[in-house]
Homo-oligomer: A and B are copies of this chain.
Amino acid sequence: VKLILLSGGSGKRLWPLSNDVRSKQFLKILPAPQGGQESMVQRIWRQLERAGLHETAHLVSQKAQFDMISSQLGEEVPIIVEPERRDTFAAIALAAVYLHDVVGSSRDEVVTVMPVDSYVEDGYFETLLHLAQTMRDGAAQLGLIGALPTYPSAKYGYIIPQAESSPSTDGSLAVSHFIEKPSEEAAATLIAEQQALWNCGVFAFRLGYMLDVLTAAGIPLQHATFLEQYGQLPKNSFDYEVVEKCARITVVPYTGYWKDLGTWNTLTEEMGTTLIGKGLLAEQCVNTHLINELDIPILLLGLTDTVVTASPDGILVADKTASQKLKNHVSQFTQRPMFEERRWGSYRVLDFVKQSDGTEVLTKRIRISAGKNLSYQYHHRRSEVWTVISGNGEMMVDGVVFPVYPGKVIEIPVGSRHGIRAASELEFIEVQMGSQLIEEDIIRLAMTWEEALTKWSTGG
């Protein structure tokens, strides 16, 4: 069995903590067993490890999430990189082609695809293994997991089993059809009269089945060629392109806890605390949650059914029911990311000023982990001034290598080549000045420090 975890996601429904880089699965909001908080992706990876399944798993994600995944799960987690974001059909096709052509999996290998942000109990992973067994032994082309509904939700998709089918010996049911987001009344009827199940977004298939689907659609099975044509793949869901056209689908019921933590309303129910970060809830706050990633303290007084979340990107104060409408309002607040975790550490934007003559000034605090380095790079449109505030390391500017330490100031004019390596964890304040201060204005000459020294050093 091969497990494929889809790590997609846009940032809008959990603004301001999530953004295009930090999707909801990376937010450290859930209670971690060792205390403190963990993200959805850290939770599911921990559960996979406990179930012994992590060695069969690959993540499918965009390159922009690379640094975040490495930082949260470690650098050895295998990632299949999407060339661009193109919905679930393309992502699952990519995983199938990768397993076939790069990993060399056989056509009989059972592949199970699941969202990386499923919030489930450990029993779920037994159901996953059960599903894989069903796919191996049975005649179904596609296998799903259906959670037993605990209330008639109008927000979920429903799987309707065939009426005449009785459960097979392994407990799986033949699927009749699907109903997306019915009214609460309709959902109640579906559950009571048709044994409808919540669709958990899991898809299992023998690899050969998916390869045949691709071949029938004229899609190449060779990885390199496939990547070249990625931009021409239909931008549709796997449900639309494959599930709805599939004749023999089976569903394995899952009786444990399953929840979509896609809105502040649902996510805060699982926080296990009312406060993360700097702040205080006072004067009888009821069913109210505060998540504060700022250094600025937040005081809540006498609130009911309210969620308050704050990051350098923005601050949300919402009635919990109204928080479900968040997506409609955040587009006007999208701005450059104010905080990012990277492979080499993290940075935070402290200040941004656009002057009347068009000059922009961006002030950042940048942290580089011990042993890590920034690429050797230069910029077309900005100068930089760095003031080291803690830690030690070495720096190279235009080929000249020198040590850096607290208090050291480095001026980097436009076009000047520069890189830095942290011996101990190193922090500096950066003042960027120029036009168009965007992350993309960067020419990387060498990624590793060894390569930078070998190719570009002219001495110390």
- Which positions in A face B, CB cutoff 8 Å? 15-16, 280, 282-284, 294-304, 306, 308, 310, 312-319, 321-323, 325-326, 328-330, 332-333, 338, 350-353, 355, 359, 361, 363, 365, 383, 385, 387, 389-390, 406-407, 409, 411, 427, 429, 431, 433
Contact of A315 among B296, B326, B350 (CB under 8 A): B296
Nearest-neighbour CB distance to chain B for A110, whole angstroms, equals: 44
Nearest 5 CB-CB pairings of A with B: A302-B322, A302-B319, A301-B318, A301-B322, A350-B350
B322 and A317 contacting across the interface, CB-CB below 8 Å: no
Contact of A387 among B16, B299, B431 (CB under 8 A): B431
Interface of A is mostly: strand
A350-B387 Cα distance, complex, nearest whole Å: 15
B409 and A409 contacting across the interface, CB-CB below 8 Å: yes
User: A321-B302, A406-B359 known; A427 and B297 CB under 8 Å?
Assistant: no
B325 and A317 contacting across the interface, CB-CB below 8 Å: no
Give me 21 A-to-B residue pairs in the complex whose CB atoms sit less than 8 angstroms apart, sorted by A's number. A16-B299, A280-B332, A283-B325, A284-B322, A294-B315, A295-B352, A296-B310, A296-B313, A298-B314, A299-B318, A299-B329, A302-B318, A302-B319, A302-B323, A350-B350, A351-B365, A361-B429, A363-B363, A363-B365, A389-B431, A409-B409
Closest to A323 in B: B301
Complex interface: chain B residues within 8 A of A297 (CB): 314-315, 333
A355-B406 Cα distance, complex, nearest whole Å: 11
Contact of A361 among B294, B322, B389 (CB under 8 A): B389
Complex interface: chain B residues within 8 A of A280 (CB): 329, 332-333
B317 and A306 contacting across the interface, CB-CB below 8 Å: yes
A302-B315 Cα distance, complex, nearest whole Å: 15
Nearest-neighbour CB distance to chain B for A293, whole angstroms, equals: 11
Complex interface: chain B residues within 8 A of A294 (CB): 296, 315
A321-B323 Cα distance, complex, nearest whole Å: 23
Complex interface: chain B residues within 8 A of A433 (CB): 387, 389, 406-407
B407 and A283 contacting across the interface, CB-CB below 8 Å: no
Nearest-neighbour CB distance to chain B for A252, whole angstroms, equals: 39
A385-B407 Cα distance, complex, nearest whole Å: 9
A303-B300 Cα distance, complex, nearest whole Å: 14
Closest to A334 in B: B297
Complex interface: chain B residues within 8 A of A330 (CB): 299
B329 and A282 contacting across the interface, CB-CB below 8 Å: yes
Nearest-neighbour CB distance to chain B for A406, whole angstroms, equals: 7
A301 and B317 contacting across the interface, CB-CB below 8 Å: yes
A316-B281 Cα distance, complex, nearest whole Å: 10
Complex interface: chain B residues within 8 A of A409 (CB): 385, 409, 411
Contact of A301 among B326, B387, B390, B411 (CB under 8 A): B326
Complex interface: chain B residues within 8 A of A319 (CB): 283, 301-304
